[in-house]
Amino acid sequence: MQARDPELRRELDATLQARGELGPEYESVLIDSFLEKVERRLAAPEDQRTRRLSAERRMAAARSASEPARPFGTFAERFGFGVVSLVLAVPLSAIGVANAGIDGLVVAWLGIVGVNAVHAAHTWPWARDRRRPSSDWDG
């Protein structure tokens, strides 16, 4: 028999040697002592894992409490959206004019302005303050 844990193997050898020296009347006490050591050994990794998980939860809670609320869009995100809108506006304008004349141009630009207005509405402070009405389904 080969033990994976040398310390437990030494404990087992010591328990068996003590049993041989003390006799059968102390057998149950020695076995109980050895089993307690095995249980402590088995519980140690679980305790370490539990402590690590609780420490990670505390760290995550501390980080979220210390970080300020991030706005809905950073400057780079808003700037990038604006640039993409202007780049796409050129071919959309050309397609609108080629197919429907000035009316097509107006419709294309109304769509571009509408998409940008909806995107910008997410960063307006008065739009952020409105909360969804609570219902019976909310926890």
Interval 77-123: pLDDT, tens: 888 888 999 999 999 999 999 999 999 999 999 999 999 888 888 76
CA-to-CA dists, residue 40 to 2, 36, 37, 58, 120, angstroms: 20, 6, 5, 26, 60
Q: How many Å separate Cα 87 from the centre of its chain?
A: 36
Q: How much is the pTM? A: 0.40
